[in-house]
Structures are given as structure tokens and as C-alpha cells.
Amino acid sequence: MQKRIAIIGGGIVGATAAYYLSQLPGGQNVKVTLFDDGVGQATSAAAGIISPWLSKRRNQQWYRLAKAGADLYPELIHDAKLGTDVYQQTGTIVTRSDDSDLEALFALAQERRQDAATMGDVSALSATEVQAKVPLLTTSHPGVFISGGARVDGAALVAGLLKQATSQNLTIRRERVTLDNQGNVVTSVGLKQFDRVIVAAGAWVKELLAPLGVLADVRPQKGQLIELAVKDFESQERMPVVMPEGERDFIPFGHGKLLVGATHDDEGKFDLKATPEVTADLLGSAQRLMSGLTAESVTATRVGTRAYTRDFAPFFGPVPEHEAILVASGLGSSGLTTGVQIGRLLAGSALYGGTPDWSDYEKPLTTYLATSAE
């Protein structure tokens, strides 16, 4: 008898979980249905930087999770047969204007490199050397270069993973669904029962879990970035991503496309309209790094809704007192880094059951989930 698994949310966690449910041993005995209405998804609006090693977050559980995600990417991209238009280890550069700050950053990189082979080579660069690696830049500070850092296109990654999964055991339903108080999925054609349900709907997790009497510590945050048409250097597809001090991230893609962003707007919440003032701010940041850009250089804007918890850490796993329901949320702006590892872990749990110990990666779920009676 086939095991039936539902996934609510087709972003980075849901898509990765669907992919692994189609690839893990036993996947041939599973029927997976993914529900997503495609509205507001943070992943599809995002262009991510996979370079967690220089983060100064004190949360070591988050760092181990992010490091595991970065380690997983090369294997995932290879196995899913995705190309460099989706993910590429171009390297990342983090700049600093103060010499002592730069030295401290370089020392941190060397320390982290000892147990993070995926980082690749680490080197300190002068401002001139930074510009030589990223010819688009006309202004720069010195920086630290990490050869293993990468860029990823969220929308292309999700599309590629779901395409692989649909060729195996996945059906995609483009609709918004809810849960009832028994954990059944309420669809446009009535209730649907599943053996396991993975709720990976980002900032919408709070309303999805409410019928179960579960209160989730999740809040929405609006994020916006811009695409710019720039000179198409021959080396642009391999240009490192730049994380410039005091400016927005600078993400070169091939064929004359540059992405800049993203912003963090707590007041915007679920608003998916591009804000002209934010577009101007993003363009201004790009102009301080690269001359010759004008408003006409902006070819598109992307807007999505991230999910955050009060301590900015993600949570994932079986919902207490509702073990058939797995949940993930709170990934914030590092979702493309941590989401692939979370999706893989949830897929294994949904397929094989058991009581996994993920304490290396997160606090207890009761930190973020409470019952209505509490």
C-alpha cells in the first residue's frame, strides 16, 4: 500500500523535501502531493548567497545548520542534474573599510576553514584585487575572498527540483489549502487525508497550524530586490558575489544580469507590491559601487515574504501532539542556505518515521510552538 504524503508550500524546504522523497530508498512506495498557490513565496523572489562561514551569529546551532546546507549544495546540484544557471561556486567577497575589521574577518575565515572544506581557499584582497575579480565594480574596499562561496537562483532551483520529483512520484496542485482540527488537508474539492503532512509555508505557517490549537512564533517580513541590465563581461558568469560593507549584496549573473538586494521590511509584512522608494534605495546602493547605472538599468523587481521567529532562528520537525504533521518555518534571509538541509531531514522523517534528534541544528520545537491552552 502506498504511503501518502502532502507538502504545503513549494519554496526551498517544500521543493527539497519533494525531491528527496522521490530519490530516497522507499520513495517508489510513496505518493506525494504538493500544494502551493505561488503567491508571495520568498524562495522564488530570491537570489541567494551561499556563504555562511563568516557570519558572526552567536547561535552555533544555526551555524551548524547553515554549514550543513552549504556542504549539501554541490551534491544536490549534481544529483538533480541542475546547471550553473541555478547554482555556481563563483566565490564570495566580504568587504571591510577598516584594516582591523578586515584582519579580524580574515582570522575568522581561517579558523572556520579548519572544519569546513567546502569553503575552499581563503585570501585577503586589496580594493584593486577585488575590482579585478569583479570588473563590474568601479568602487570597492578591501575584502576577504572565499572560493567555495556560491550564488543560487531560488526560482530556478525550485523549478528544477520539482521537475525531477514530478517525473517520479510528485503531483503539484496550484491552490491554497488549509488544515482542519484533525490535521486533514482542506482543498478546493474537499478534505484529503494523508499519512504525513509537511507544512513548509513560511510566514503562512501560523495560520495553517491555528486550527490544530497550535500557536506558532512566526512573523512575516517583506523583502525586495532589483535586477539590473549591465555590461556583459566575458567572465561575468564566474564573477564572485560581493557582500559590501554598508551596502546591499551585489550578485552578478551571466548575460549582463546583476541582482542587488534584498531589503528587510518588517512593516511591509505580506505586501507584495514593489515599493518605488525601496527600488530607488537599492539602485542607489548599486550606483555607489558601479558607475553608469540609471533608473533605466532596472529591468525587474522581485518581492517576497520571509518568515522570522523572535530569536531569528528556524525551527522544524514533528508538531508536538500532532506527530503526523511536520513543520518548518522561520528561515529568514538565510533560507536558501539552510532550507535544503531542512528539506532533506524532513523528507527522511516523513518517509521513515521515528523520533529524530536534530538538537545540533535547533532549539526544542516548544520554543516556537505552543498550544492555545498555554
Helix/strand/coil for 219: strand
Q: Would you say residue 61 lies in a domain?
A: no
12 contacts 343 by C-beta, under 8 angstroms: yes
Q: Would you say residue 328 lies in a domain?
A: yes
Domain end position, chosen among 308, 327, 355: 308
pTM of the predicted model as reported, rounded to 2 decimal places: 0.95
Query: Which sign, positive or negative, has the C-alpha torsion 69, 75, 81, 86?
Result: positive
Weakest-pLDDT range from 121-135, 194-208, 226-240, 244-258: 226-240
DSSP 8-state symbol, 277: H
Q: Would you say residue 294 lies in a domain?
A: yes
* Higher per-residue confidence, 344 vs 84: 344
Helix/strand/coil for 27: helix
Q: pLDDT digit string (tens) for 11-29?
A: 999 999 999 999 999 989 9
Judgement on whether residues 100 and 122 belong to the same structural domain of the protein: yes
Using CA atoms, how far residue 123 sits from 26, 92, 293, in Å, is 44, 11, 30
Q: How far apart are alpha carbons 368 and 374 in whole angstroms? A: 13
Q: Would you say residue 110 lies in a domain?
A: yes
The confidence score (pLDDT) of residue 99 equals 94
Nearest to 159 by CA among 259, 19, 20, 346: 19
Q: Would you say residue 52 lies in a domain?
A: no
Judgement on whether residues 238 and 287 belong to the same structural domain of the protein: yes
Judgement on whether residues 296 and 214 belong to the same structural domain of the protein: no
Nearest to 319 by CA among 359, 363, 370, 361: 370
Judgement on whether residues 230 and 304 belong to the same structural domain of the protein: yes
The confidence score (pLDDT) of residue 173 equals 97
The confidence score (pLDDT) of residue 236 equals 67
Please give the grid coordinates belonging to residue 193.
487525508
The confidence score (pLDDT) of residue 202 equals 95
Q: Would you say residue 258 lies in a domain?
A: yes
Q: Is the pLDDT of residue 40 over 80?
A: no
Q: Collect all residues with Cβ–Cβ distance below 8 Å to 354 and sequence separation of at least 6.
A: none
Nearest to 243 by CA among 105, 356, 80: 105
The pLDDT-based confidence of 42 (bands split at 50, 70, 90) is confident
Q: How far apart are alpha carbons 122 and 113 in whole angstroms? A: 8
Judgement on whether residues 288 and 227 belong to the same structural domain of the protein: yes
Give the rounded percent of residues in the chain with a pLDDT score beyond 90: 88
Range of the domain at 202: 3-44+155-218+311-365
224 contacts 46 by C-beta, under 8 angstroms: no
Judgement on whether residues 107 and 207 belong to the same structural domain of the protein: no
Please give the grid coordinates belonging to residue 329.
518555518
Judgement on whether residues 337 and 303 belong to the same structural domain of the protein: no
Mean pLDDT to the nearest integer, 186-212: 96
Count of structural domains, the chain: 2
Q: Is the pLDDT of residue 135 over 90?
A: yes
Residues in the chain: 374
Assign 3-state DSSP to the chain and report helix, strand, coil percentages, each to 5: 35, 30, 35
Mean pLDDT to the nearest integer, 327-355: 95
Pairing of β 178-179 and β 185-187? antiparallel
Task: Supply the mean pLDDT for the chain.
Answer: 94
Q: How far apart are alpha carbons 141 and 168 in whole angstroms? A: 48
Mean pLDDT to the nearest integer, 182-205: 96
Burial of 156 (0-12, 13-18, 19+ CB in 10 A): middle
Q: Would you say residue 81 lies in a domain?
A: no
Domain CATH number, residue 122: 3.30.9.10
The confidence score (pLDDT) of residue 233 equals 83
Using CA atoms, how far residue 251 sits from 30, 49, 136, 156, 332, in Å, is 38, 8, 11, 15, 19
Domain end position, chosen among 308, 341, 356: 308
Judgement on whether residues 227 and 304 belong to the same structural domain of the protein: yes
The confidence score (pLDDT) of residue 132 equals 94
Q: pLDDT digit string (tens) for 64-122?
A: 999 999 999 999 999 999 999 899 999 999 999 999 999 999 999 999 999 999 999 99
Judgement on whether residues 120 and 172 belong to the same structural domain of the protein: no
The stretches of the chain forming alpha helices (DSSP H) are: 12-23, 42-45, 60-79, 99-113, 127-133, 154-166, 205-209, 276-289, 335-352
Q: Would you say residue 80 lies in a domain?
A: no
Judgement on whether residues 38 and 133 belong to the same structural domain of the protein: no
Pairing of β 30-35 and β 3-8? parallel
Judgement on whether residues 291 and 318 belong to the same structural domain of the protein: no
Mean pLDDT to the nearest integer, 282-297: 96
Q: How far apart are alpha carbons 145 and 326 in whole angstroms? A: 38
Give the rounded percent of residues in the chain with a pLDDT score beyond 70: 99
Helix/strand/coil for 294: coil
Q: Is the pLDDT of residue 171 over 90?
A: yes
The confidence score (pLDDT) of residue 373 equals 57
Q: Collect all residues with Cβ–Cβ distance below 8 Å to 302 and sequence separation of at least 6.
A: 45, 46, 47, 224, 225, 226, 227, 261, 262
Domain CATH number, residue 181: 3.50.50.60
Q: How far apart are alpha carbons 10 and 37 in whole angstroms? A: 9
Nearest to 307 by CA among 6, 5, 9: 9
Judgement on whether residues 115 and 235 belong to the same structural domain of the protein: yes
Domain end position, chosen among 260, 281, 308: 308
